[in-house]
Amino acid sequence: GNFKQTATLEIRTSLTLEDIPPGIPGAVRASYDDLVVHPVDYSISPGDTLAVEVYELRERAIPFQAQAEVLSMGYVNLPVVGRIDAAGLTVPEFEDAIIQSLIEQEVLLDPEVTVNPLFLQQATYSIFGIGVSASNVAPLRAGTFPIRRPDLRILEAINQVGGLNEFVSDVYVFRNFQVDWPSDGSSLPGEEGQQADESSADAPDESAIESPVGGEEAAAGDADDSGRAAEEEELIEAVIEGDQTQEEGVEEESALTDEVLKSLEPEPTDPYIYVDGKFVPNPVHAGSPREEVSVGQTPPGFDAATPAVNWARIAGDTEYRVIRIPADSLRTGDPESNIVVRAGDVIRIVSGEIGVYYVMGQVNRVGGFAFNAEPITLKAAIAAAGGLSSLAWPDRCTVYRRLGQREQMIQVDLDRIFAGKDPDFLIRRSDIINVGTHPLAPFLQRLRAWTLPNPTSNVGYSYTYARNFADIDSYSSRVNPHNEADRFPALFP
């Protein structure tokens, strides 16, 4: 230890570069927009349950009531009315769709339709985690719960399932947002604005792209193409007539056929042309994308870092943003942390480390020890194991940490950590702490036993203590003084 100075020391959360830091990578703090309530009109989605009421649908002066579920294809089946598309519509729009269908089918002249949502699949939030609720010492109640009003805050949402106990360290919110993809699906998320700026600043006029070599040259090119097509048709007719009428001159016919086939091949064109100081796509180039670029060549303006396949769009049109909220800020009522719960949010309650760590080697009590959702440092782990034994060598300590299917072996110096020269670090689940020894440790143990006080041994200071304060029969077999008869009974009252 260090008993001479006072200092504030850092506690590390990771030991090496391979050690994965705790928490969720990419998590950000809550922003101002997360605190603002945005009331939106909910759009019906598959899996929703709606209560539909149509007045006088089957009987006069009696309303017809039914619970309709939106099927996976996005429609609802109603008696008499039939199948009506509901996905993507708001509740008022769905009411108008039912009214329009009743009028078109001449079922009712003036329908009265009321639709009330019973369960909205997308207007829910999910919560999960490991911990103990603060209310009744019961496990945290995880599940999916409806959002019944737009100003639902995260602290209220957590309190509905048990609340925050003192072991909860962080709250993570996985919030999804829709990506606005272009119609062709060529750009990746975050590239829309960049591509728009580049296109507005660098794109040439449409007229220049359509006829990059001028109107007259383009017209001349069209005339050449029509003349070439006429010649090709004449050559094809000649070949056919020659095959039917001539039986001799096979070599001449084969040569003519090769010449015709060669003339039928389109002339190679460049996929890009130089116009106004920059390369633009050639509008007359008819080659396939695989033929536009030959092996080893890169066309102008082609970014090799951009993938040819938009995997993000294939995976889905939804991306997630992870928001980290310290649990202490929620306990203290920080208004900047009590964000609004949005539809589709997934809330994760993170407690301290859960599981068991192990201490072995030269400690007074070896075995496995539980975390109990409390962060444990190396010094705390040694203290829980009863401290170091008399044979321990403090600078010989190894921590074994699991990394998936591998195990990392980290050497630490307990002397420097306890002296405050090296920062302490947090122990993780399944860590194994092994305190080693040294060949000189037994000799030092005997030396300490002869020179330092030890109540469990009769050597050293303890031997002196026994000699000075023991009874008189320490060296010979005699009766203790308090057991002998008083020689002067009248001397002391």
pLDDT in tens, 287-305: 444 444 444 444 454 444 4
What pLDDT is stored for residue 323 in this prediction?
93
What pLDDT is stored for residue 192 in this prediction?
44
Judged by average pLDDT, the poorest of 88-102, 272-286, 357-371, 451-465 is: 451-465
* The pairing of beta strand 356-361 with beta strand 432-435: parallel
pLDDT bin (cut points 50, 70, 90) of residue 493 is low
pLDDT bin (cut points 50, 70, 90) of residue 105 is confident
What pLDDT is stored for residue 197 in this prediction?
45
Asked if residue 199 has pLDDT above 60, the reply is no
pLDDT higher at 304 or 41: 41
What pLDDT is stored for residue 275 in this prediction?
64
- Rounded to an integer, the average pLDDT of 433-441 is 93
- Rounded to an integer, the average pLDDT of 117-126 is 86
pLDDT bin (cut points 50, 70, 90) of residue 16 is confident
CA distances from residue 240 to 62, 235, 244, 264 in whole angstroms, order as listed: 81, 9, 6, 15
Judged by average pLDDT, the poorest of 20-29, 96-105, 359-368 is: 20-29
Q: pTM for this one? A: 0.57
Asked if residue 328 has pLDDT above 50, the reply is yes
Q: Which of 17-31, 163-177, 431-445, 466-480 has the highest mean pLDDT?
A: 431-445
- Rounded to an integer, the average pLDDT of 4-12 is 87
Judged by average pLDDT, the poorest of 17-21, 122-126, 160-164, 478-482 is: 478-482
pLDDT bin (cut points 50, 70, 90) of residue 431 is very high
Give the Cα separation of 13 and 233 in Å (integer). Answer: 79
Judged by average pLDDT, the poorest of 59-73, 153-167, 263-277, 361-375 is: 263-277
Asked if residue 25 has pLDDT above 70, the reply is yes
Judged by average pLDDT, the poorest of 146-155, 164-173, 236-245 is: 236-245
